[in-house]
Structure formats: structure tokens, C-alpha cells
Structure 1
Amino acid sequence: MLGVDDVAARLGSIGFRCRGCGACCRRVAEDSNLVLVSPAEVRAIMAATGMAWDKVAEPYPDFIDTGNGGKYTLAWCLRRTADACIFLRDGRCSIYAHRPWICRTYPFMLVDDDLGVSECPGLGAPLSPCDARDAAADLCRRQAAEAVEESGIRAVFHEASVPPGKRAVIDSEGVKVLDG
């Protein structure tokens, strides 16, 4: 696993400054703005907005057949309209202070010992050592949070049962059977 100093050095060499364009929040290709969220992130957004779970999050769109007519997926995503995240309003994030890890750290992500970089117009802009370190710390915290969520999903999955003919999301909190 990469340390904060290693990640900060890489971020500094790439450079980044958010332009506030909102392109990352808009759908430019199928599932281009798919934002995975953990149950804890959904609950934080619910607390901040007063919205219900099903108004904040939708199941990850790829379902796996159980063989008994049931289907499951292993993740939640922020809800979207036909062209953008539901929280993009007037070109700005309406839940900015409560935005999920994926949004906080975009366009970067840590995958094992590698730094992934998504396409973004803000890449290449000068990044101060202090800002690089802050961003690196966020990336490391995100990676740790994702590892905890994945471990939780694995633990639940081994005991999970999806009712015949139903669709469900299996997350770190359990099996959530979907309506309809």
C-alpha cells in the first residue's frame, strides 16, 4: 500500500486544480458519472439533506443472477437524472461538504500500489506541496474506507440469501431487498 508521502509526490508531479466545471458530475457516456457510495456515505447524505435512502442512492446497475430467479448487486450509487448526478444544481454540488470519497478525490484513485488518474480538465495545473499532501491523505483514507467496506461485504455475502424472484443489494450492513 502506498504511503501519503509517495502519493503526494506523484500528485505533485501530475498537478491538479479543480476548475469547478462539473464535467465529472455529468453523464457523457454510459455510466460515466456512476458514483459508488458506501452505506455510511448514504447515511451521511441522508442526515445532511433529510432525504430518504431511495432518493439518495440507487443500486449499482449490474446485477448477478442467483439461479433461483433472484438477482443481486454489491454496491450503491448516487442517484442520477438522465444527464447528471441529482446533487448537481446550477453547475455546483449541492452536498459538497458531505460528498462521497470518490467525489472528494476525483480525478484520482488508489488501486493497490498504483495511482489511477481519470480524464479531467483540471489535470496539469500546479499543485502546492501542502495541497498535494492533503489530497494524498484523502486518497489514503478513501482506500482504507473502501477496504473496510469490501471486508464487510465479504462477511455479509457468505451468509447472504436473496429471496427467489427478488432483487437485492448486498452491502456491509446486510441484504437489502428492493421493491419492484
Structure 2
Amino acid sequence: MLGVDDVAAQLGSIGFRCRGCGGCCRRVAEDSNLVLVSPAEVRAIMAATGMAWDEVAEPYPDFIGADGGGEYTLAWCLRRTVDACIFLRDGRCSIYAHRPWICRTYPFMLVDDDLAVSECPGLGARFSPCDARDAATDLCRRQAAETVEEAGIRAVFHEAVVPPGKRAVIDSEGVKVLHD
């Protein structure tokens, strides 16, 4: 795993400043604005907004066949309209203080020991050492949170049973059967 100082150095050499364009929140291609969220992130957004689970999150769209004709997926995503995240309002994030890790760290992601960078018009701008360190800290925290979530999913998955003919999401909290 990369350390905060290593990530901060890489971020500083790339540079970034969010332009507030909202492009990362809009659908520009199929699933381009697909934001994966953990159950903990869904619950934090629910607490902040008063919305219900199914108003905040939708199942990850790729399902896998299970015994008995059921299907499952292993993740949740923020709900979207036809063209944007439901929390993009008047060009701004309406849950900014409670936004998920993916949104908090965009356009960067740690994949094992590599820094992945998504296309973004804010890339290349001067990144102060303090801002680069803050972003690096968030990236390392995100990676740790994702590792914990993945371990939780693996633990649940080994005991998971998807009811015949039903669709479900298997997450770190268990099997959540979707209602039609």
C-alpha cells in the first residue's frame, strides 16, 4: 500500500483544482457517473437527508445468476436520473458534506500501489503541498474503507443465499432482497 507522503508527491506532480463543473456527476456515457457506495455511506446520506435507502441508492446494474434463477450484485450506487446523480442540483452537490469517498477523491483512485487518474478538466492546476497531502490522506482512507467493505462482502458472500427467482444485493451487512 502506498503511504500518504508517496501519494501526496504524485498528486503534487499531477496537479488538480476542482472547477465545479459537475461533469463527474453527469452521465456522458453509459454508467459514466456510476458512484459506488458502501452501506455506511448510504446510511450517512440517509441521516443527513431524511431519505429512505431506496431513494438514495440503487443496485449496481450488473447482476450475476444464482441457483434457483435468482440474481445478485455486490454493490450499491447512488441513484441517478437519466442524465445525472440525483444529488446534483443547480450544478452543485446537495450532499457535499456527506458525499461518498468516490466523490471526495475524484478524479483520483488508489488501485493497489498505483494512482489511477480519471479525465477531468481540473487536472494540471497547481496543487498546494497542503492540499495534495489532504487529498492523499483522503485517498488512503478511502482505500482502507474499501478494503474493509470488500472483506465484509467476502465474509457474507460465503454464507449468502439468494432466494429463488429473486434479485438481491450482497453487501457487507448481508443479503438484501430487492422488491419489485
Please give the TM-score of this superposition, normalised by the length of structure 1.
1.00
- 2:159 counterpart SS class: coil
CA distance in structure 1 between the aligned counterparts of 2:73 and 2:79, rounded to whole angstroms: 16
1:148 Cα deviation (Å)? Answer: 0.2
- 2:5 counterpart SS class: helix
CA distance in structure 1 between the aligned counterparts of 2:98 and 2:21, rounded to whole angstroms: 19
- The percent of aligned pairs where both chains have the same amino acid is 90
1:68 Cα deviation (Å)? Answer: 1.4
CA distance in structure 1 between the aligned counterparts of 2:109 and 2:68, rounded to whole angstroms: 36
- 1:58 counterpart SS class: strand
Q: Deviations over 1:4-41 (max 9, x none)?
A: 00000000000000000000000000000000000000
1:47 Cα deviation (Å)? Answer: 0.1
Q: Deviations over 1:91-124 (max 9, x none)?
A: 0000000000000000000000000000000000
1:67 Cα deviation (Å)? Answer: 3.2
- 1:68 counterpart SS class: helix
CA distance in structure 2 between the aligned counterparts of 1:67 and 1:107, rounded to whole angstroms: 38
- 2:29 counterpart SS class: coil
Q: Deviations over 1:33-90 (max 9, x none)?
A: 0000000000000000000000000000000001311000000000000000000000
Match of 2:47 in 1: 47
Unaligned runs of 5+ in 2: none
- 2:40 counterpart SS class: helix
Match of 1:70 in 2: 70
- 2:67 counterpart SS class: coil
Number of aligned positions between the proteins = 180
Unaligned runs of 5+ in 1: none
- 2:68 counterpart SS class: coil
CA distance in structure 2 between the aligned counterparts of 1:165 and 1:63, rounded to whole angstroms: 13
1:127 Cα deviation (Å)? Answer: 0.3
Match of 2:161 in 1: 161
Runs of 4+ in 1 over 2 A off after TM superposition: none
CA distance in structure 1 between the aligned counterparts of 2:67 and 2:154, rounded to whole angstroms: 20
